[in-house]
Amino acid sequence: MGIAERKEKEKKEMRSLILDTAMRLFLEKGFEKVTLRGIAEEIEYSPATIYLYFKDKNDILFALHTEGFERFYRHQQTIRTIKDPWKRLRKHAQAYMSFALENPEYYDLMFIMRGPGEKIKADREWGAGMRSYDFLKQNIQDCMEAGYLPREDLDVAAFAIWSFTHGMASLIIRQRCGMIPKEAIPAVVNAAVDFMIEARKKQKQ
Partner DNA sequence: CCCATGACTAACCAGTGTTAAGTTGATGAA
Partner DNA sequence: TTCATCAACTTAACACTGGTTAGTCATGGG
73 binds, among its own copies, DNA, none (CB under 5 to 8 A by kind): none
Site string for DNA, 39-58 (x = CB under 7 A): -----xxxxxx-xx---xxx
DSSP 45: S
CA distance 187 to 41: 39
Rounded CA separation 119/116 (Å): 9
Could you give the residue ranges of the DSSP H alpha helices within 30-123? Answer: 36-43, 47-50, 57-77, 85-102, 104-107
The CB-of-54 to DNA minimum distance in angstroms stands at 8
Binding mask of the shown chain, residues 72 to 91, with x at each position contacting DNA by CB under 7 A: --------------------
11, 16, 130, 186: residue in contact with its own copies (rule CB under 8 A): 130
- Cα 87 to chain center, whole Å? 22
To DNA, the closest distance from the beta carbon of 60 in angstroms equals 8
Long-range contacts of 184-188 (CB under 8 A, 24+ apart): 185/101, 186/101
Near its own copies in 155-174, by CB under 8 A: 155-157, 159-160, 162-168, 170-171, 174
* Contacted by 45, from its own copies, DNA, none: CB < 5 to 8 Å by type: DNA
Q: DSSP letter for 197, please.
A: T
- Closest approach, Cβ 204 to its own copies, in A, equals 17
d(CA 201, CA 149) in angstroms, rounded, equals 6
Cα distances from 25 to residues 20, 42, 55, 66, 92, in angstroms, run 9, 9, 19, 18, 29
Which residues would be at the binding site for DNA (CB under 7 A)? 3-4, 7, 11, 14, 33-38, 44-49, 51-52, 56-58
Which residues would be at the binding site for its own copies (CB under 8 A)? 30-32, 111-115, 118, 121-122, 126, 129-130, 133, 150, 152-153, 155-157, 159-160, 162-168, 170-171, 174-180, 188, 191-192, 195-196, 199-200
